[in-house]
Amino acid sequence: MGLCVLCEGKNEFWFGALCSNCRRVKHFISIYGDRVYEVLDSVLSRTEDKQKLKEAEEIKKEIQNKEHNLRSSKKKLLEKV
Ligand SMILES: [Zn+2]
């Protein structure tokens, strides 16, 4: 057991300084070269965009709910008068 130099996780590794997962990454890099970084960039930044979109969607929903609650409480208030 030890720390992998790449992910610094506590994964078990058999030899060298990389865990089995990072060894696979290294393997991909040796096969695909820069393509690996391009893929990581495009996939992970796209995921980030989606997360931001989702967050924006949640905020929108929350605002709509608040507006709805405001409207119904106003209505109730008016009904009492
Ligand atoms: Zn690792």
pLDDT at 11: 65
> Does some domain include residue 63?
yes
Q: Does residue 24 fall inside a structural domain? A: yes
In tens, the pLDDT along 11-58 reads: 666 667 888 888 899 999 999 999 999 998 888 887 777 778 888 888
Number of structural domains found in the chain: 2
Tokens read off for 26: 């290294």
41 located within any domain = no
Against a cut of 0.75, is the pTM above it? Answer: no
Residue-range definition of the domain harbouring residue 61: 48-80
74 Cα–ligand 1 center, Å: 57
Do 1 and 29 sit in the same domain of this protein?
yes
Q: How far is the CA of 3 from the centre of ligand 1 (A)?
A: 8
How far does the centroid of ligand 1 lie from the alpha carbon of residue 32, in Å? Answer: 19
Question: Does 27 share its domain with 52?
Answer: no
Q: Tell me the CA–centroid distance for residue 42 and ligand 1, in Å.
A: 22
CA of 40 to the centre of ligand 1 (A): 16
Please check whether residue 25 lies inside any domain of the structure.
Answer: yes
Q: In the prediction, which pLDDT does 30 show?
A: 95
Determine, yes or no, domain membership for 29: yes
Stretch 53-79: mean pLDDT, rounded?
Answer: 84
pLDDT at position 18:
86
